[in-house]
Amino acid sequence: MRDLGDVSLPPEDFGAMAALCKLDQDFPPTLEAWRAMISEATLEAHRRGHYPAPLQIDVRRFSAWCSHVQVLPCLDSLRAFVIIRRREIP
């Protein structure tokens, strides 16, 4: 999960992301659980010497990307999306 380190999601967008990823049983059920998961991912990344660029998730862009590449929205596809987005940042 370290790929999700230093990722942020506006609190008001959590419900939309949770609805989008509703089929993923591992998706955090609450905003607090989401924050805990991201915090742990960030700590794991830092422990391994990785300091990823902070990235704010745009739920609509993630949804459009999932449709474009024909994958179900879930934590795995979110990780892939984040990796690709971070490659776009100069």
Q: Where are the domains of the chain?
A: 2-88
In this prediction the pTM is 0.91
The stretches of the chain forming alpha helices (DSSP H) are 14-20, 31-47, 59-69, 75-88
Say what the pLDDT of residue 56 is: 96
Residues 43 and 5: their CA atoms lie apart, in Å, by 7
Say what the pLDDT of residue 45 is: 93
Say what the pLDDT of residue 89 is: 61
Residues 19 and 26: their CA atoms lie apart, in Å, by 13
SS3 7: strand
User: Could you tell me what percent of the chain has a pLDDT over 70?
Assistant: 98
The dihedrals phi and psi of 78, each to the nearest 5 degrees, come to -65, -40
Q: Which of 11, 1, 63, 79 is nearest to 38 (CA)?
A: 1
Q: What is the pLDDT of residues 22-57, one digit of tens each?
A: 999 999 999 999 999 999 999 999 999 998 889 999
